[in-house]
Structure 1
Amino acid sequence: MHRPSLHNLSRNLGMVALTALLAACGQQTAGTAPMGALPKADLSENATVAQSGKLRYVQNELMVGYTDDASLKRAVSTLKATVVATIPEIRVALLRVEGDSLKVSAQAFRLPGLRYAQANEIIAGDQLPAGQVKGDLNAQAASADQIFDELPQYALDPRHLNAKAAWDAGLNGQGVVVAVLDDPGDVSHPDLKANWAGKAYNPFLNKVYTDAAEWVKDSASEFADHGTFVASSIVAADDGKGIVGVAPKATWLPVVINPAAKQTNEFYSSFYIARAAVWASNNGARVLNNSWGGGISFGAVKDAFDYAMSNGTAVVASMGNSYYDEFQYPAALPGVIASGALDGSNRRVTFSTMGRHISSSAPGQDTMLASPTWQGGGHALISGTSFSSPYTAGVAALVYQKCPSATPFQVRRVLETTANSSIGSNPNGFDRDTGWGALNAGNIAKTLTSCDKLPAKGANVKINVTYIDDSGQHPGVLGDVMLRGKGMRAGATDDPTPLYLSTTDAQGNATFAEIAPGEYDLYVAGSDLSVTGGLTEERGTYIGSFTATSGSTRANPDIKQVVLTAASPDFNPVDPYEPNDSPSAAKPITYGQTTQTAYIYNKPSDYDYFSFAGTAGDDIKAEVLAMGQLGGSLDSYLFLFGPDGKKLADNDDRGNPRIDSDSEISLKLPVSGTYYLAVTSYNIAEGTGDDGSPFNKYKLKLAKTN
């Protein structure tokens, strides 16, 4: 699996990692990189890449979700932006803006008619799981029932996916189209060319290919092989040669989200991944395979997947190769079928990410897959949840062949209820290691004898949140919403009770697509104080019940209105001490004083200066109360300068050993005179970038301790 560098844990304007939407505006760890240092296909013309924490984004590109064309036009005018491209189906636009898009997003986020505004993030994947590389094909001790076409494929035998039993019953994927969102898949490979659907798509170029030779010419690279591996596990033809896919009569659409031209991972930005998903669904794909991860729980990609599911397209994603029990995206998005990896003994492979959101598992270690012809062709043994996911996508295609009108949730439940539940840590059903068990295509053929036997349809839900504070009523922006199935046994590894998480957009809406119908405990909290800062009592909480109705749709969802007594985040704060950006403009502070809330915000390389009168021999203690003690997003840095202007001390993180990211200086003053304290962010102090978050708040406290 191409798993980006956990940017689900990074935070930036308009992006959500469960409880954190805006924190990384103050977490820049690198400046801009020259265009030549990045793959050309990652960028729009003349664009550069900036970095904030783990987030990499196109510096002058802003992605906005809009409610109607008039709202988009108004936003473009207000921001003095130009429209690069739109995805009309989900009302998302890519704008070119003046200045840094991460900073512009703070202004854009509050414009009327915009659901969100986020810097156009560039996905950046990593390698295969540690120790998992292409294997040797020689020493394969295969039993007779593992030989399919020419080569052994344990994944398809009766003890694993049990594929032949499904084929013998007529379930082979005939008539179903599967899209592979990945690096370029090789449509000329002998195992794949017969089942190519005749189209391939590059969302960055917005180009549809219908000529195989042209596609191969534009795709061939020593780094692009992942998409070919993935596609072959789904649709390799049953022709007596090479290998065979689990759905050998299905057809496939290669869709590039990672050009892999100059290095293994060159993922396109979020806008183009969203465009890719929408195109695939519009062009007949009933299943989208996503063997990548590390995304976010909010924004254009989620909108695109929700749109696809509303079209009857199932979205499958690999759980990840992190070795941990954790949320990763897109696997953890509501409605997505999340796949874990098993070895040849039907045990969870150690690298396979675990979690309550896992659906089921499939072979993902030493799987026999096709290598692209531009790398010499042939086959390789390859490992990762990247390859359990397409096996899952292929089995989903078998369900769609039998029941074309099935909804994505029904497909998921068919896979789960027919899985071999004896594997994993709970031999009697669900566990967080392997989900509902090992997929078994033969069981599906035996069980799904008619479409009347499909499970109940899923539900689609919208929770709308409103804040009421001293200044009135406001949309419940940045709120955390949790739907927790009734009766959940918190912490139990064998509890299948559903749990879904989302964060509200600029209009206070959180949506949940294709989730399990039923009764839920609903938990809502106001904006995350670790992001925005503030007092606990300012956040506000709600606990109630909610019913998700089978058959509700994206167009007609189950709706719940929640009103919280909670402070609305201030996206345009006023610093009471500005201008104080130099020693000559320093604002006075005295012993025993703590300043009002101030901000490192709204200007490049912001330093705030404060002056105080000190006497030789004074033991002083200066403290910056910031992210560690007030919340918010400021990783502070503090300097102390003497009367002669020379630096006497500086501090990044207080405490030895470290307490938190706030700053503190204690010193005996050497002479009498006027001293200066300068507050800034770690990134500015280190020269690694500007900070732009409106939540970069702090207070400065000065004391004489002798």
Structure 2
Amino acid sequence: MRRSALLLLLPLLYACNQTQSPPPTLQACRPTQSPSIQGLPPSFQGLGDFDAPHVPGELLVLGGGFTPQGLLDRAGLLGEAEVLSTLPGGALHLRVPPGQERARAEALLRAGARYVQPNYLYRLLARPNDPLYPESLLDPSRQQPFFRLIQMEQAWDRFAPGCTPTVAVLDTAFDPKDPELAPNLLPGYNATPDGLSGPKALDPSPPPSGASYEADHGQGVAGLIAAVTNNGSYVAGVGWNRIKVLPIKVFYFVGSRYTSTTAVLDGAIRYAADQGANVINLSLGGPQDLYLRDSISYALRKGTVVVAAAGNDGTDGLVYPARYPGVIAAGSVRLDGRRSDFSNYSSTPADLVMAAGGNHFPLEALWSLALNRDYGYYRGLGRVVKWKGTSFSAPQVAGVAAMYIAQYQPRYGQAPTPDQVRTCLTMTASNGGRYDPQTGYGIVQADRVLTDTTYCFP
């Protein structure tokens, strides 16, 4: 019954432009570096937040000019602390006895380290509904009402890219063989230490005994950006086959939790920037984190735009990394344009814009892809799933940012800087350049982003 019900829906999802010819092959968009964006201030020192969720027994240490062994010797930790790695930004990744993280961090600080923090944990910012396929042509989860709020159809009519932009999606897992996504995927990267490599690199991580989890999130986020569009099947992506997604797996099991860490995200963000990603999408959240702020600054200096979900607590104050300077925060509105009941907001002005990401009460959710595979240890949720959360506002915003980059580069001979992209998206959003504590600068208006001659194409 599910299969027949889905087939009834498909003609409505793709009734337009069935005969359109495929777009021409374009060269990659080149990020424009921003060397004026600074990394960590030299004067920064102290301890991180040891009350925030973190990996037991792991520390990240910004040294004070000592060798790793020299620092451990000064701190009296030789033989007790183990150097796991050196992060791309220069921090030491240490293992210490679980439960002794703060005490060992204080010892390292006294020995001359500049800054020590735990290896923080990051959580997903969405929770899927059951994978139900529609039984009616009046299915309220069809994408068109959600995309209409960001003026997507008008933007598609105006989209004339001069290069192919890349959005790096840092998330749970991906299926690079899914025909609904594969044509728009680049070769992926597993940034986690779970040991999966080769064809299995982007698979969900095998769980420890008794653990349960949901890994379809990454496929759903990537689908909203780059699902194959105009092929008469399943869902549409914001990029209409003109945006490539670089899938980077950052979630794996730490104990019994499917999560990500500071160390993994730091490496993944830098990897995406080094690969020339035009936009990074972070549909995840966690505590304030010095190292993650530095890796985001690194990406911004390389010319990579960073978009992050605002958070799903329904409270005043964006989660990190959406809260960091230079990041475009993506909140969620319901279909009537009001803030979603779960979406975080900010009474303090921030680079906050909105897209339609559903609602709890009354329930609103939108279709996107799921893994649709049985991995033996994990069964995907189906071909498509109804999603809601700021996790699914963020990829809409990231996709619009990528469209702007692709339209800007041929006019000016180079891509816009991250600051230019933030200015364009915020100043053309639905609040008319004014900041509102509930909705920030308002709902992203994709058609204005591609045509505005004041803030976007001066």
TM-score calculated relative to the size of structure 2: 0.75
Counterpart amino acid of residue 384 in structure 1: G
Matching of residues 215-294 of structure 1 within 5 Å: 215=201, 223-240=214-231, 241-248=233-240, 249-259=242-252, 265-294=257-286
Q: Does 2:71 correspond to 1:75?
A: yes
CA contact (8 A) 2:122 2:284 kept: no
Cα deviation code 1:627-653 (max 9, x no counterpart): xxxxxxxxxxxxxxxxxxxxxxxxxxx
Check 1:22–1:401 CA distance in 2 against 1; reply closer, same or farther (3 A cut).
Answer: same
The answer to whether the aligner puts 1:56 opposite 2:54 as a matched pair is yes
Query: Partner residue of 1:399?
Result: 404
TM-score, normalized by length of structure 1? Answer: 0.50
Distance in 2 (alpha carbons) for counterparts of 1:93 and 1:305? 18
d(CA) in 1 for partners of 2:394, 2:133: 22
What is the CA-CA distance between 1:414 and the residue it aligns to?
Answer: 0.7
Whether contact under 8 Å (1:165, 1:445) holds in the other structure is: no
**Cα deviation code 1:142-178 (max 9, x no counterpart):** 79xx9xxxx6432223xx1222332332346952111
Give the drift of 1:72: 4.3
**Percent of aligned pairs sharing the same letter:** 28
Q: CA deviation at 1:406?
A: 1.6
The letter of the residue matching 2:70 is: R
Please state if 1:386 is matched with 2:391.
yes
* Distance verdict in 2 for CA 1:205–1:406, change over 3 Å: farther
Matches within 5 A, 1:43-192: 53-59=51-57, 61-66=58-63, 70-72=66-68, 74-78=70-74, 79-80=77-78, 81-88=81-88, 90-97=89-96, 100-112=100-112, 114-124=113-123, 128=127, 137-139=134-136, 141=138, 152-157=143-148, 160-171=149-160, 174-192=163-181
- CA distance in 1 between partners of 2:457 and 2:143 (Å): 36
Q: How far off its partner does 1:331 sit?
A: 1.2
Equivalent of residue 408 in structure 1, options 405, 415, 418: 418
The answer to whether the Cα contact below 8 Å between 1:134 and 1:380 also exists between their aligned partners in 2 is yes
Matches of 1:96 and 1:325, distance apart in 2? 35
Q: Which amino acid counterpart does residue 353 of structure 2 have in structure 1?
A: S
Give the secondary-structure state (helix, strand or coil) at the position aligned to 1:438: coil
**SS at structure 1 position matched to 2:355:** strand
Q: 1:280 to 1:396 in 2, by over 3 A?
A: same
Distance 1:266 1:325 in 2: 27
RMSD: 3.2
Structure 1 residue 322 displacement after superposition: 0.8
Q: How does 1:462-477 map to 2 (within 5 A)?
A: none
Give the structure with the higher percent helix.
2
Would the alpha carbon gap of residues 174 and 195 (structure 1) be closer, same or farther in structure 2, given more than 3 Å must change? farther
Q: Which structure has more RCO (C-alpha within 8 Å, separation ≥ 6)?
A: 2
| Structure 1: gaps spanning 5 or more residues | 1-20, 26-52, 423-427, 454-706
CA distance in 2, matches of 1:390, 1:274: 20
Q: Which residue of 1 aligns with 2:41?
A: none
Displacement of 1:245 in angstroms is 1.2
1:370, 1:378 within 8 Å by CA — same for their partners in 2?
yes
Evaluate the alpha carbon distance shift between residue 433 and residue 247 of structure 1 in structure 2; reply closer, same or farther with a 3 A threshold: same
Aligned in 2, Cα 1:451/1:324: closer, same or farther, shift over 3 Å? closer
Partner of 1:639: none
Shift, 1:386, TM fit: 0.8
Counterpart secondary structure, 2:215: coil
The residue matched to 2:315 in structure 1 has which SS?
coil
Q: Where does residue 30 of structure 2 map in the other structure?
A: none
In structure 2, the CA distance between the partners of 1:199 and 1:294, relative to structure 1 (3 Å rule), is closer
Q: Distance in 1 between matches of 2:355 and 2:451?
A: 19
Name the count of aligned residue pairs: 383
Structure 1 residue 185 displacement after superposition: 2.1
Q: Contact conserved, 1:137 with 1:380, CA < 8 A, in 2?
A: no
The structure that has the greater radius of gyration is: 1
For structure 2, the 5+ residue unaligned runs are 1-45, 208-212, 359-364, 374-379, 409-413
Instruction: Determine the structure 2 residue equivalent to 1:537.
Output: none
Match of 1:390, as an amino acid? P
* Residues in 1 aligned to 2:258 and 2:426: alpha-carbon distance in whole angstroms: 34
